[in-house]
Amino acid sequence: MASASCWKISSNFQLCRVCGDKSSGKHYGAICCDGCSCFFKRSIRRNVKYSCIAGKDECVIDKARRNWCPRCRLQKCFTVGMIVSAVQQERGPRRGIRVKSEKLKNESANHKMLIQILLTCLKQAQSNECFNSISKLQRTVILRHVWSELFVLKVSHWPIDITDAFNDLTDITSAMKALNADLMELSLLETLILSRPEFAIDDKERSRLQLSMENSIARLAFYVSSRSHTAAAETTRFGKLLLALRHLTKRSNESSLNNLFSDIIDINFRL
């Protein structure tokens, strides 16, 4: 039987049972890395209620995708034996340097999550049926102009609040959340963002984009009408959605997002 000292040495090489990254020891009842440990502690202390990004509660949680779905990541924490009471009974940090260190780790984790959200936006845009009717070059040109609008639209309806990462967008994200748009409305707003004739590379593409924009506006108007009880409510709702989209376009282009994601944009949108 291995001695206690041998076990202590070998445990340093164990992998995180949540994501498979290199572990830093046992935290809250399970061998895990610092990232998953901080995530679990933050989730329990804040009593956050997550929703599955894919809606299936079966997302893969590994080193590369651990920031993808917080609900499935938290569920994995429970599955491997992490204990809620261990967090609740833990004393807070007593030295300022520990607080600063944890803050830096959290900021890094938030940035990784924001990158994942951006990449999700780009991937979903590529699967948009109307957007796929235009050429690959035209799609690249449009995404280079509107990626920030797609990002803010997505972040505004993300299951967890991460808007503190860019305070200059709090007003527009709050306004978009207040709309309480459903999946169909969000899909049509996304199509309108992607159907921008002013970014056309030639007359043929401009005609396609113009048609897509007009069809999307008509579909949005019809959808709002089918769900409204009165003509006044229909007009108000339709107007609010279009006004919010206009505000979204203006504020997104004025924000600090370009500095935050400059490397990602350069890599993904080389013409």
More confident residue, 270 or 210: 210
233: its two tokens: 């409510």
Question: Is residue 151 a contact partner of residue 260, using CB atoms and an 8 Å limit?
Answer: no
Tell whether the model's pLDDT for residue 23 goes beyond 60. Answer: yes
Q: How confident is residue 94, by pLDDT bands cut at 50, 70 and 90?
A: very low
As a whole number, mean pLDDT of residues 170-182 equals: 85
Q: Please provide the CATH number assigned to the domain covering 116-268.
A: 1.10.565.10
Q: Does residue 240 carry a pLDDT above 90?
A: yes
What pLDDT sits at residue 6? 36
- pLDDT(1) > 50: no
What is the mean pLDDT of the segment spanning 97-110? 48
Q: Domain map of the chain by residue range?
A: 14-89, 116-268
Angle, CA 183 vertex, CA 262 and CA 62 arms, to 5°: 55
Fold classified for 14-89: Erythroid Transcription Factor GATA-1; Chain A (3.30.50)
Q: How many helices (H) and strands (E) does the chain have?
A: 11, 2
pLDDT at 203: 94
- Three-state DSSP state, 31: strand
Give the residue-averaged pLDDT of 151-160.
Answer: 80
Q: Report residue 110's pLDDT band, with 50, 70 and 90 as the boundaries.
A: low
Tell me which amino acid residue 15 is: L
Residue 262's φ and ψ, nearest 5 degrees, are: -55, -45
What φ, ψ does residue 125 adopt, rounded to 5°?
-60, -40
